[in-house]
A and B are shown apart, each in its own frame.
Chain A
Amino acid sequence: DTAVSQTPKYLVTQMGNDKSIKCEQNLGHDTMYWYKQDPKKFLKIMFSYNNKELIINETVPNRFSPKSPDKAHLNLHINSLELGDSAVYFCASSQDLGSEKLFFGSGTQLSVL
């Protein structure tokens, strides 16, 4: 029943590894997002997709690659993980690009050792 669900909830990995975070929304929304929350709780947008198409790509290292196989899914793959990638990553969705309200998943706590 969860509207926006992301897995895993916790991810602990070594520097240099590659990892993926998955996100699915069952709200029938067209637009999905990835946000990064740093240890000081600051939330910053990374990517947004509309109907599987990349719309926003903020200044994020190209080690981060989003993939949207269909409009209900937006996965985040991270190559060559670095210590500074440790953060909480949130997936979100909105009805469409023009919709103001975002619905967030419960987050993935990534710890890079």
Chain B
Amino acid sequence: GESVGLHLPTLSVQEGDNSIINCAYSNSASDYFIWYKQESGKGPQFIIDIRSNMDKRQGQRVTVLLNKTVKHLSLQIAATQPGDSAVYFCAEKFGAGSARQLTFGSGTQLTVLP
């Protein structure tokens, strides 16, 4: 039979290096974007968000870049640490009222090597 496994994009980085996780979003009408981190056995946890009227936003050790022209979002993590190992999801919001909901992209597995 066919074995089913995880086929997440993966990124391995050396501890202390910078990480860049990329995401292509689907809807040109999306006006809000958010990055979540999901550690093994836990729920997604908010990292940083950005609205479509910005192209860059910085947090503590993290930066999100938004390129609306090519519908691309990236998450940069400075000085990556072992605790950063997790699956990272981008998500977008579009629409209004009850139709406005968070749509997740496929995740990226980040592994930090010692």
A contact residues vs B (CB 8 Å cutoff): 4, 39-45, 48, 55-56, 90, 92, 97-98, 100-107
Contact = CB atoms under 8 A, between A and B. Distances in A.
Interface residues of B, number: 27
A101 B98 CA distance: 15
B59 interface: no
Interface string B37-53: 01001111110010000
A63 B35 CA distance: 32
A41 B87 CA distance: 9
A61 B38 CA distance: 27
A41 B98 contact: no
Nearest to B4: A39
Given A40-B106, A106-B42, 16 more contacts: A41-B6, A41-B87, A41-B106, A42-B106, A43-B44, A45-B101, A56-B98, A97-B97, A100-B49, A100-B93, A100-B102, A101-B49, A102-B102, A104-B36, A104-B45, A106-B43
A101 B35 CA distance: 10
Contacts of B100: 97-98
Contacts of A41: 6, 8, 38, 87, 106-107
Interface of B: 4, 6-8, 32, 34, 36, 38, 41-46, 49, 87, 89, 93, 97-98, 100-104, 106-107
A105 B42 CA distance: 8
Given A100-B93, A102-B102, A39 B6 contact: yes
Nearest to B46: A101
Nearest to B109: A41
Contacts of A4: 43
Contacts of B106: 40-42
A49 B104 CA distance: 19
A100 B42 contact: no
Contacts of A43: 44, 89, 104
Nearest to A102: B102
